[in-house]
Amino acid sequence: MSRKEQKEKNRPVILRLFAMIGPTRFVFVGALIALALSIGAESAGNLIIRHVVDNVIIAKAGLKTFALWAGLFMVMAMVRGILNFLQSLGKSRTSEEIARTIRDRVFDHLQRLSFSYHDTNKTGELIQRSTSDVDTVRRFYADQIPGLANTLFLFLINFAILLTLEWRLALFSVIAIPLIILLSWFFFGKIFSAYDKFQDHEGNMTARIQENLNGIRVVRAFARQDWEKENFRRINQKQLDLGYRLNFWDSFYWPFGHGVCGFQFAATVFVGGVMAIRGTISPGTFIAFSSMINALIWPMQELGRSLKEVSKSYVSFARIAEILDEDQEDLTSAALTRDSNVQGKLEFRDVSFHYVEGVPVLDNISLVCEPGSKIALLGATGSGKTSLVNLLPRFYDYTGGEILLDDKPLTHYSRHFLRQNIGIVEQEPFLFSMTVRENITYSLNREVTQEEVEEVARAAAIHDSIMKFPKGYDTMVGEKGVSLSGGQKQRITIARTLLKNPRILILDDSTSAVDADTEDKIKESLEKLMEKRTTFIIAHRIQTLKKADRIFVLDEGRIVQEGSHEELIGREGFYREVFDLQTRMEQELQDELSAAGAAKVLSHE
């Protein structure tokens, strides 16, 4: 983290919120100036009315004079309209620009946070902070600051004029304002606390909705709609309760504020009326005074509403700041500068790793992988296979021991360099809501020719399938590739990895979720993908592992067996047990198919 970022992180949230105005500050200041001038024009209109009543109507100065002052009043009204337009335009531009800036910063920051951060934070919560909370901050600049400025300008301008008209009545008119400010500040604290809880729970609710929609096929497959409905009903009910509490304090403020402001206004008008009857002030002054008192007192009641909204903005920006204050993953720092290609030799020396302190996931792992060789990993779920290969691109850094790449410590290479040279084919292929071509070329940050795309698609045995799509390579695949079969999605991800042309390859159980026929097609694609590449293969099917140069069996984060396929099936142990079990199951399935085929033949005879 740079000194500038650290300095910003240490500043109070409210100051950071104001600092977001950035390059648009001149536009925003201009909008506030226009607002002040507009209020000044309105007050000038009240003074014109005072003059007309005292010196035109009562003095019977004639229609020509009356028309002149009436025209001046209309000019002031037009000026006020123009100024209101300018201040509205300025605040809108500022607020939208700030919202865009924050969204860009949050999105970019989320891309650069560590895997550990994303492991421990719900996606729906992050979405809510990136959208709803950003919009709340937008309203801070669009509504809250102009609202507070409007209250301040109304008070200062009108109170200054009232002092010149009748200073005793002016002082009497503001007796209740300290009480209004105290009430507003009291309810600000209550609403701040209630809104903080409301937003936190709304983030949890958003995360729940997002999780449900992602798993909608599972929900329907197990007919769990009613359970999901009841579970969401409880979450939604808590949101309702928190909303009631928030609105309770909001509703509680208005009767108090309205009563205090109403009493102050009525008392001031009464006193002003008595002074006018006694001749202390003129009728015109009384009318102008009443109008400006109205503009002075009632906006003070809005102070509570403005502070309430400011409290929401404070909470929302604090939630956004929590994301921005997280340290980004260092992608570029490296002790080594490598311009040549990676050879692909990897060595684990007593490597240990944990996600949570005191709970080891890998324990003293030692293995050597020569350039271009194939290493297979087998083990029960949770044995540490995926955690082990996730250390290679430095998604996580090992906590003990050492990993060497081409005889140099892995941590001496930048994460960016490693991820450029390592390709991964996941167990669950992920495709973006883009065209087939865009998904294949996603692995490269350069222009890719159609010939290159088709070449890797053919190598991945997916070209013919793509050409049958309505728009070929320009076909939209839908969210997460929902319009494609599991095998098609997997082969597109293989084509994407082939285009990247990595020196090291990780196949993380990449055929476990497809049928046997599709698996055979994918295996053909993978054979081409693995040519002359250092490859780590994670699988549960022995048929997928048997061609590996070296097989390592993991159990609770430790290597318990290693050797070639032939060596391991000749020993007692987990590998032999899995091999025997799968061989027996395949034989039983083959016998059943043979029996079914024979029965069908006999029935035709």
Nearest to 556 by CA among 543, 577, 574, 532: 574
Specify the CATH superfamily of domain 346-571.
P-loop containing nucleotide triphosphate hydrolases (3.40.50.300)
Cβ atoms within 10 Å, residue 194 = 23
> For 379-421, what is each residue's pLDDT tens digit?
888 888 989 999 999 999 999 999 999 989 998 888 888 888 8
> For 159-208, what is each residue's pLDDT tens digit?
888 888 888 888 888 888 788 778 777 776 777 777 778 877 887 787 77
What's the rounded Cα separation, in Å, for the pair 231 and 303?
Answer: 40
DSSP string, 538-593: E-S-HHHHTT-SEEEEEETTEEEEEE-HHHHHTSSSHHHHHHHHHHHHHHHHHHHH
Determine the pLDDT at residue 348.
93
Of the two residues 339 and 289, the one the predictor is more confident about is 289
At residue 33 the predicted structure's pLDDT band, cuts being 50, 70 and 90, is: very high
Residue type, 554: L
Question: Domain spans of the chain?
Answer: 3-324, 346-571
Outline where 325-443 has alpha helix (H).
Answer: 385-390, 415-421, 436-440
Determine the pLDDT at residue 304.
67
> For 339-376, what is each residue's pLDDT tens digit?
557 888 999 999 999 988 888 999 999 999 999 899 99
Of the two residues 101 and 19, the one the predictor is more confident about is 101
Of the two residues 2 and 220, the one the predictor is more confident about is 220
What's the rounded Cα separation, in Å, for the pair 121 and 323?
Answer: 10
Nearest to 452 by CA among 502, 496, 505: 496
CA distances from 560 to 363, 365, 541, 573 (A): 11, 10, 18, 9
Mean pLDDT within 289-301: 78
Q: Would you say 181 and 303 are in contact if contact means Cβ atoms under 8 Å apart?
A: yes
What's the rounded Cα separation, in Å, for the pair 122 and 212?
Answer: 13
Task: Look over the chain and give the mean of its residue pLDDT values, rounded to a whole number.
Answer: 83
Determine the pLDDT at residue 222.
62
Nearest to 390 by CA among 366, 424, 428: 424
Q: Is 398 left (phi over 0), alpha (psi -120 to 50) or beta?
A: beta
> For 110-124, what is each residue's pLDDT tens digit?
888 888 888 888 887
SS (H, E, C) 504-539: EEEEECCCCCCCHHHHHHHHHHHHHHHCCCEEEEEC
Quote the pTM value: 0.76
Mean pLDDT within 264-286: 87
Burial 496-527 (b: 16+ CB within 10 A, else e): bbbbbebbbbbbbbbbeebeeebbebbeebbe
Task: Please check the confidence at residue 603 and state whether its pLDDT lies above 60.
Answer: no
Mean pLDDT within 437-466: 87
Instruction: Show the tokens assigned to 91.
Output: 């605040």
Q: Would you say 360 and 557 are in contact if contact means Cβ atoms under 8 Å apart?
A: yes
What's the rounded Cα separation, in Å, for the pair 433 and 207?
Answer: 21
Give the position of tokens 């335009």.
89
Q: Would you say 332 and 35 are in contact if contact means Cβ atoms under 8 Å apart?
A: no
The rounded percent of the chain whose pLDDT value lies above 90 is 13
The domain made up of 3-324 is a member of CATH 3.10.20.30 = no
Task: Please check the confidence at residue 604 and state whether its pLDDT lies above 60.
Answer: no
Residue type, 221: A
At residue 329 the predicted structure's pLDDT band, cuts being 50, 70 and 90, is: confident
Determine the pLDDT at residue 352.
94
The rounded percent of the chain whose pLDDT value lies above 70 is 89
Nearest to 369 by CA among 351, 386, 348: 348
Determine the pLDDT at residue 482.
64
Residue 561: beta bridge partners? 553
CA distances from 505 to 75, 252, 414 (A): 76, 63, 18
